[in-house]
Amino acid sequence: MVAAPHYLATNVGTNILSDGGNAFDAAVGVALTIGVAQPYHSGLGGGCNITYLQASGEHGHINARGPAPAGLSRDMFFDDGTPNYTRLQTGGLASTIPSFVAGLWALHKRRGNLPWADICARPAAIAAEGFTADFMMAKVYSQASTAAKVAKYAQTTEFAAPIAEGQYVVQPQLAETLTAIGKDARSIYTGDVAKALVDTINSHGGVLSLQDLADYQPQHTDLHETHYRGWRVLAPGLPTIGSLQTQLALKILQHFPLDTLTCGSAQHMHLLAEVVKATYHMRASIDDEQAAAAIADDAQAERLAAGISLDKVQALRLGHDGDGSCTSHFCVADVDGNVVSQTQTVRSYFGSGVVCPTTGIVLNDSAGDFSLQAGQITTQGISYQGDYNLLAAGSEPASSQSPLIALHPDTGDVIAAGAAGGPRIVSATLQALTNQIDFEHSPQQAVAARRVHSHGAGINVEASAHMAQALSSLGHTIKATPSMGITQSIRRDGETWQGGADPRGPGGAAVVLQTGDTMTVRRYGTSYGDA
């Protein structure tokens, strides 16, 4: 089963599974292909968080978020005592250490079936042969700030000019880089690719060193477990604080009879908004690493639940709704029961704007997720009260990513879910999961349903005029928005696998069915292009 945010990635994943690959092989192929088809969201110059479940029952997290380079310091982002957030998000200083490939290699080297080079060759072929730009790529370029950033920092690449829907996109440099990585996964950290990255970033004022790249290794960590309506919900820990925040939201919702509400009703949207707002209020109160690690504490959840009413708005005022932040999420599973739920990013559209001209790699701007001063509102719209998340060399910024896997101990059912959308990842993932557990939605129904979000004074809602009026009558300040986040989910229900790809993007979900020697691909929901 594959559910990915771009149909080309779904195709690569199902082809790998059809060719005898397992979920870990498919995850690598899907992840790399997303970086080719959606280079503005994620890719070789970014990072990822991987939650995995093996058929044996073993599970874990690979943290490849990416730390700040050894030569990076907070004082580089101040002008006469005033923080410069533009510098934190564009140009050479904005990039943390590219960690994406190391994370994929860590997943594959102990668990994959197919040769690494064979997997890398598939997205390399797409980059070399080209593909048709979809509506989302064209939409990215329609934003003046993105176009200006790319024009300033990526002047010698294929991304320098605006791209229209239907235009053919070819990335020969990226194809060569993927081929090189297929031969040696560490070439991006020790070889010619590494040198090209360092030279490019530092030509734009960065401080990345060859030593930073050579020393980098992803972290293998345990998953945090919580329970919701009889399900075991597994999620990464820090620095993916969004996962712990989603678990906190589930613990709060546990105190409310969600299944007695009508899914998508004003009362349902109200409750979700209040719960998400409460978790962001809790996140904003964090002042150190110890408090961050304990964010999903049962006592805190009970206290926050006690402050929520089904017919009244909480008077919690936070910073603002944060930026959109660009990310990708996908889910894969195989016939043996291996499952991967993975979120990856270069953070903003086209990351820092810096694109290496000889490798085609888009460099991230993940330094933009750090805080520069205690108590100051970050680009994510959160004001941490103490030293937590302050930029420091070698540290990793807090992340809203929330790649989850939920297991039902009695039935053996499995749900994998996650989302893209910066601060809205938490609310989108929460709804994808609860829509399936509380309202018995299929994955496709769950990811397509109307969403709500809040971590400011008002709420964002994908609303009709009627819904906006109903929520306003409950006391909410409404910020109507046409779309929030991109979510993917897959589910095993008994012996049946289903998937859902968010119709807000050009994704697709498909299952590979085998009968004897015959392979059939069944698709779920909508997919864009010639899937």
For residue 512, what are its two tokens?
């590979």
From 177, 200, 327, 379, the catalytic residue: 327
Please indicate whether residue 327 is annotated as part of the active site.
yes
Tell me the C-alpha distance between 419 and 430, whole Å: 9
Are the C-beta atoms of 396 and 96 separated by less than 8 Å?
yes
Residues 6 or more apart in contact with residue 409 via CB below 8 angstroms: 230, 232
The structure tokens 């929030």 sit at 484
For residue 448, what are its two tokens?
């397509």
For residue 224, what are its two tokens?
């945090």
For residue 449, what are its two tokens?
């349903």
Tell me the C-alpha distance between 402 and 45, whole Å: 20
For residue 388, what are its two tokens?
């937590």
Tell me the C-alpha distance between 358 and 203, whole Å: 14
Tell me the C-alpha distance between 292 and 387, whole Å: 11
Burial of 61 (0-12, 13-18, 19+ CB in 10 A): buried
Residues 6 or more apart in contact with residue 32 via CB below 8 angstroms: 44, 104, 119, 120, 122, 123, 178
The secondary structure of residue 312, as a DSSP letter, is: B
Are the C-beta atoms of 435 and 263 separated by less than 8 Å?
yes
For residue 370, what are its two tokens?
């750090």
Q: In this structure, which amino acid lies at residue 321?
A: D
The structure tokens 């399936």 sit at 436
Tell me the C-alpha distance between 251 and 215, whole Å: 39
Helix (H) or strand (E) holding 497: strand 496-501
Q: In this structure, which amino acid lies at residue 208?
A: L
User: In DSSP terms, which residues pair with 511 in a beta bridge?
Assistant: 522
Residues 6 or more apart in contact with residue 270 via CB below 8 angstroms: 310, 311, 313, 471, 474, 476
Q: Tell me which residue of 269, 332, 258, 264 sits closest to 489, measured CA to CA.
A: 332
Residues 6 or more apart in contact with residue 523 via CB below 8 angstroms: 508, 509, 510, 531
Residues belonging to the active site: 327
